[in-house]
Amino acid sequence: MKQPTLLALATALVLAGCNGSSGNSNNNTGSGGTTPPTTGESALEKALPLSIDVFGVTIRATANIDRTKMLHAAQVMAQYLDNDENGLVDNEAVVEKLVASKATLVMLPKESDMEALGDKLGDGKQDNIQDLYGSEVYPGGSSAAGFDASLEEVLHLITHVGYAQVYPKIFGEKPESQIADAMDQARGGRFTSIPAKYPEGAWYTYDDSTCDYSCMVTEYTYWALTSLLGGQAYEGRLEEIAHEWKLNTPEKVKLGDPAVYTLLTNGEYGLATKLPNGNYSYKTFTIQGG
């Protein structure tokens, strides 16, 4: 699976995971009168001229993105935030945090386009940005042809920038939060880095060595929630993901990981109870800047 680190806007922009930890920005002062690369919102808008507003959360994309896929991502985001599709967000505090943090989903046609974007934006790391590539978006839904990554990357942005910040003791991406304690059980222990071998019986065995503890929590939340919603249960999917996650159905999550099941089904937090399908019924989104 693509590591869920939030986007690092450097020569190549790489997110912290499934959302990851933020790094230090580097200033290129340049010699001989060279002007340092422009960073910040204006540079982002220039590089990514297309946008959609979803309850105040922004999706930005390059001009050559497939519009159908961009609109699909917007509808998936809307369904995660307004799962009963009544036009009102299900957790106002989370959406307010996303908006205040300028949480942004960045879309490009394919992953190789990221390097060029990094060159335009300059150095630095932004922990409120999540990348999603058109090549991994399937508006018709996940199938043997491919998993619809909008279900993953949109959720990463929402949990990493939203839930983890609003509920640090519950969804915080650090040891001893409730979600982290559940993850430690799922992995057979608390590992701040990828172990050489996971303990026998572990059902969450993420193996990307570049993923830090925060990233591991974000990825675990994604696996658990989307499995609980039925998003990982289509034919052939378990064979693709078993090396990383074994509880790919609602029943397996309920029986095999009762800690995360109890947490993610607690209605107090307004998490999704049905899987987004990209057909948000309350409103029609439009792309600005195109």
| Model confidence pLDDT, tens digit, residues 24-57 | 333 333 333 333 444 455 677 888 999 999 999 9
- Kindly report the number of other CB atoms within 10 A of residue 42's CB atom: 9
Q: Is residue 70 assigned to a domain?
A: yes
Closest C-alpha to 44, from 115, 123, 137, 117: 117
Q: What is the reported pTM?
A: 0.86
Ranges under pLDDT 70 in the chain: 1-42, 118-126, 290
pLDDT at 127: 78
Q: What percent of the chain has pLDDT over 90?
A: 77
Question: Which has the closest alpha carbon to 160: 112, 83, 221?
Answer: 221
Total structural domains in the chain?
Answer: 1
3-state helix, strand, coil in the chain (%, to 5): 40, 10, 50
User: Domain range holding 201?
Assistant: 41-269
Is the residue at 68 inside a domain? yes
Question: Is residue 280, in this structure, part of any structural domain at all?
Answer: no
Q: Is 17 part of any domain?
A: no
Does residue 239 lie within any of the structural domains?
Answer: yes
CB-based contact 33:131 (threshold 8 Å): no
Is the separation of the CB atoms in 181 and 171 below 8 Å? no
Strand residues in 76-128 grouped as ranges (E): 104-108
DSSP 245: B
Let me know if residue 229 belongs to a domain: yes
pLDDT digits (tens, 9 = 90+) for 231-263: 999 999 999 999 999 999 999 999 999 999 999
* DSSP label of 198: P
As a whole number of angstroms, the distance between CA 260 and CA 262 comes to 5
